[in-house]
Structure 1
Amino acid sequence: MANASVSMVKVTDVYESLQECLKLSEGLAGLNTNDRILIKPNIVSWDFDLPFPPYGVVTTSVVLNALVRILAEHGFRNLTIGEGALPGLSPDGDAVYEALGYKKLQERYGVKLVDFNQEEFVAIDYGDGFKLDIAKQALEADKIINVPVLKTHNQARVSLGIKNLKGCLNKKSKQYCHGVGDEELSRTFPRIIDKLPVALTIIDGLYTLEKGPGPTGKAFRKDLLIASRDPFACDLVGAAILGYPAKDVAHLINYAKSHGRSLELADYEVKGESVADHQEYVTYDWEWSEKDTGPAGFEKRGITGLAIRKYDSSLCTGCSVQYNPMLILLSSAFKGQPFPNIEVVSGKQQLAAKDFDNTVLFGKCACHLNKNNPNIKKAIPIWGCPPVLGKFVEVLAKEKINCDYNEYVRFRHYLFSRYKESEGFNLADWSVK
């Protein structure tokens, strides 16, 4: 429903606060108890091998639990939780659902659990030659309740409700959304929602995340819930809370243009908490050297002989998740001496430059794009979709660039150790009691 109100509630008790948020937004008004309802959380990835801080990355289980309980109390019985996390980087969806406590929701309320990556996808024609393969379960739902996280995104600035629906695509279509030109990220994924019956968006703002969307960003406790039957208005408010006017977010601009919507927050009714009271800028991007030779931290350490070209929106999510670990591994190889004149390129549009003795091609797309690049003196292809970190270490070792995988393991432990329960970070928020 266009221009439906947006509600925002400060969380005290999650169940009570979500009830209030839904009441203010009339969030259940568009649902029928006979509807087949799909609940779409945000599960980017999960890891059972190394410490994985889910704060601000993954939808909290306490919010999912409260939502399912409320729906059950209102007579809704045909409920499904479905997600398509990053294939190849996440364990089997069933194992992740077990870890998040969703099996208890299955036992208590009969909720079906679906891993889109294990199910059927249907080719959908959006017109103008734009086609995507969407999870059949999402298309067949009568209504979708979208439950994203309140976080930033290093390619899209913010990752909220509209962006969260990218999890309904198969791997090939997710990659297609990270294209160039008319297929650029901010132009592609905002169209996904047009073929999906999204009836309600609930932004889980118990935590928020800077430099998202993965665990390498830094999370903060926020304790907000934002809900609306208008998905665009909900994202508009979420972006404002993160400190981003809609006019500064490309995919919101593109959505507004194609749907005739206003980008002015003042044109939408917000009930409950005031946006101004909770608005705080959360940085979305990583600092890079002015000469595009690597992260600012590399420059401060005095790392030379190495030019890592900054990622762009054509870098698919799989490679994006592996990108920061790649930086940690390269950093571990620095022993005070310059690197042997190396350039690192990635994504679908970065072309290797002249004057480098070695060119690391990070990921399948960069390998294909630069296959016949005459500028390359010696190519070091790191194949994979996305590349495997162990293989990255192995390939570079043959070039006498010795990365220390243990340094990455230590980094992962560091990421996890940043969060203390005494400061409001509680892993129990990803469990169901």
Structure 2
Amino acid sequence: MEKNPATPGNPMNRKKSSRTMPLVITAQGTYRKAYSMIENIFIQSGYEPKKNSFFIKPNLVDAFHPRSGIVTHPAVIEAIIQYLQRYYPGAEIIIGDSCGVHVSFARVIRKTGYNHFEKKYGVRILSLDTVERYSQKWEHGILKLPTLLKTHEYINVAKMKTHLQTSVSLGIKNQKGLLETNIKKNFHRTYDLHNCIISLADLVQPDFTIIDGILSLEGNGPLDTGTPKKDTGLIIASTSMIAADNVAATIMGYDINEIAHMPVAQGFEIVGHSLEKCMRPHVRPNEKFVEILNTHIYIDKTMCTQCAVPFKDAFRDPVFLIKVIGLGGLRGIKNIIFGKYSGSIDNLDNTIGFGDCTSKTARKMGFPTVQGCPPTPETIKKHYIQFLKNKKKKNKH
């Protein structure tokens, strides 16, 4: 494809490398220095696009603030846009991701700080729920994947964060956002989550992977309530998604064999800052439950984001929160169950489940559940309030 040869440092001016081993680039800095970090990463990596168009896939799971540690920071995406437009003028650039059911994609774009990119740079931002797809055979039948993967260079821009179900969420896990909603659900409900993520990584390999770890998330990620952010100050990148994830997970303090969905990369070279200088051990998630205001929230790998997002949206409603506080607050419920969790639970009288996946456990153990796949925020609020009212009435007698 055509490049701008007059630009100093243009990747076109590099000598062709004879390397067969992928490079993993580690860069240290802040969001204010994002452009210089991204430029150096691309130049050092030896990445040479073969197409005149680019598909950038960030992590935009929900409407979170850029500094939440949950979504890919817009400064990193903006730096990538600026780099591509500088060195590959005229190339088409599309930014796309999918978010949870009942979540407005327009709201996600506004909240995450991506809303000015189209006007400022002439790029397009698309919900992957609306794009054209092609059929791809896999072990469980047919996947429908975005046609953008075939027509564009695919740049996977993940967020560095811990994850209650998968230990970490990096480049490999970020690809789950390429899928249709029903398939995402089946990854959790019907199949084995970890094996499905590995299978997807076998089918789809990005042309380039970038992991935004300047501000990362530790502890009970990807929850936003009470989950600490970490000033990790790193961007990690490679033409090999698996190698990039291996380095990022190691930096976070994990042995790769601890992460069920992550293959061990077969040989790579680290360029930039040494692994020893980049080590930033992260606090790990609680694998059994999350405690928020004395309430235990039980989550296993069968729970998908589709239930988590409307639950969080319900608790963003100030009117609902006032009602909850008036009825005893979150302390009025001891346990909240998501997914097909079947472990031991105390205080069943103070337990409620959310989503169709909890139905079997609810019938077996005898606690109420809010139906839906996923239940809407309004349904969640209605049943939550009713549960607290019933509990308060029962306690009076």
Q: Quick check: 1:135–1:170 contact (8 Å CA) kept in 2?
A: no
Corresponding residue number in structure 1 for 2:308: 320
Corresponding residue number in structure 2 for 1:114: 126
Is 1:196 aligned to 2:188, yes or no? no
TM-align CA RMSD: 3.6
Shift of 1:62: 1.1
Q: For 2:96, which of 71, 75, 82 is the aligned residue?
A: 82
Supply the distance in 1 between the matched residues of 2:297 and 2:125 (Cα, whole angstroms).
Answer: 40
Q: Quick check: 2:161–2:168 contact (8 Å CA) kept in 1?
A: yes
Supply the distance in 1 between the matched residues of 2:246 and 2:390 (Cα, whole angstroms).
Answer: 46
Is 1:213 aligned to 2:201, yes or no? no
For 1:370-381, list aligned pairs within 5 A.
Answer: 373=363, 375=364, 377=366, 380-381=368-369
> What secondary structure sits across from 2:216 in the alignment?
strand
Change (3 A) 1:334 1:190: farther
User: What residue ranges of structure 2 are gaps of 5+ in the alignment?
Assistant: 1-18, 393-397
Is 1:40 aligned to 2:57, yes or no? yes
Is 1:141 aligned to 2:151, yes or no? yes
Q: TM-score, normalised by structure 2?
A: 0.79
Corresponding residue number in structure 2 for 1:268: 268
> What secondary structure sits across from 2:80 in the alignment?
helix
Change (3 A) 1:63 1:398: closer
Which residue identity lines up with residue 163 of structure 1 in the other structure?
Answer: K
> What secondary structure sits across from 1:46 in the alignment?
coil
Corresponding residue number in structure 2 for 1:235: 245
Is 1:226 aligned to 2:236, yes or no? yes
Q: For 1:68, which of 73, 77, 81 is the aligned residue?
A: 81
Q: Quick check: 2:63–2:112 contact (8 Å CA) kept in 1?
A: no
Is 1:161 aligned to 2:157, yes or no? no
CA deviations over 1:55-74 (Å, ceiling 9, x no partner): 31111111111111111111
CA deviations over 1:85-141 (Å, ceiling 9, x no partner): 2231x3234x43355554543334432221112234444211x3343332333x333
Q: Quick check: 1:345–1:359 contact (8 Å CA) kept in 2?
A: yes
> What secondary structure sits across from 2:233 in the alignment?
strand
Which residue identity lines up with residue 176 of structure 1 in the other structure?
Answer: N
Q: Quick check: 1:133–1:170 contact (8 Å CA) kept in 2?
A: yes
Change (3 A) 1:309 1:24: same
Shift of 1:383: 1.7
> What secondary structure sits across from 1:312 in the alignment?
coil
Which residue identity lines up with residue 236 of structure 2 in the other structure?
Answer: I
Shift of 1:164: 0.6
Is 1:184 aligned to 2:187, yes or no? no
Q: Quick check: 1:214–1:321 contact (8 Å CA) kept in 2?
A: no
Q: TM-score, normalised by structure 1?
A: 0.73
Supply the distance in 2 between the matched residues of 1:199 and 1:359 (Cα, whole angstroms).
Answer: 46
Change (3 A) 1:103 1:401: closer
Supply the distance in 1 between the matched residues of 2:34 and 2:222 (Cα, whole angstroms).
Answer: 23
Change (3 A) 1:184 1:326: farther
Corresponding residue number in structure 1 for 2:26: 8
Which residue identity lines up with residue 317 of structure 1 in the other structure?
Answer: T
Q: Quick check: 1:97–1:103 contact (8 Å CA) kept in 2?
A: yes
Supply the distance in 1 between the matched residues of 2:235 and 2:286 (Cα, whole angstroms).
Answer: 27
Q: Quick check: 1:152–1:209 contact (8 Å CA) kept in 2?
A: yes
Q: Quick check: 2:291–2:297 contact (8 Å CA) kept in 1?
A: no
Q: Quick check: 1:155–1:313 contact (8 Å CA) kept in 2?
A: yes
Change (3 A) 1:357 1:82: closer
For 1:249-288, list aligned pairs within 5 A.
Answer: 249-252=259-262, 255-256=263-264, 261-262=265-266, 267-286=267-286
Q: For 1:131, which of 119, 123, 142 is the aligned residue?
A: 142
Supply the distance in 1 between the matched residues of 2:98 and 2:292 (Cα, whole angstroms).
Answer: 34
For 1:99-110, list aligned pairs within 5 A.
Answer: 100=112, 102=114, 104-110=116-122
Number of equivalent positions: 363
Shift of 1:46: 0.4
Q: Quick check: 1:241–1:275 contact (8 Å CA) kept in 2?
A: yes
Q: Quick check: 1:333–1:402 contact (8 Å CA) kept in 2?
A: no
CA deviations over 1:386-412 (Å, ceiling 9, x no partner): 3344433432443454799xxxxxxxx
Shift of 1:41: 0.8
Supply the distance in 1 between the matched residues of 2:384 and 2:111 (Cα, whole angstroms).
Answer: 35
Corresponding residue number in structure 2 for 1:18: 38
CA deviations over 1:24-82 (Å, ceiling 9, x no partner): 222x32x03x43321111111006xxxx5643111111111111111111125121111
Which residue identity lines up with residue 71 of structure 2 in the other structure?
Answer: V
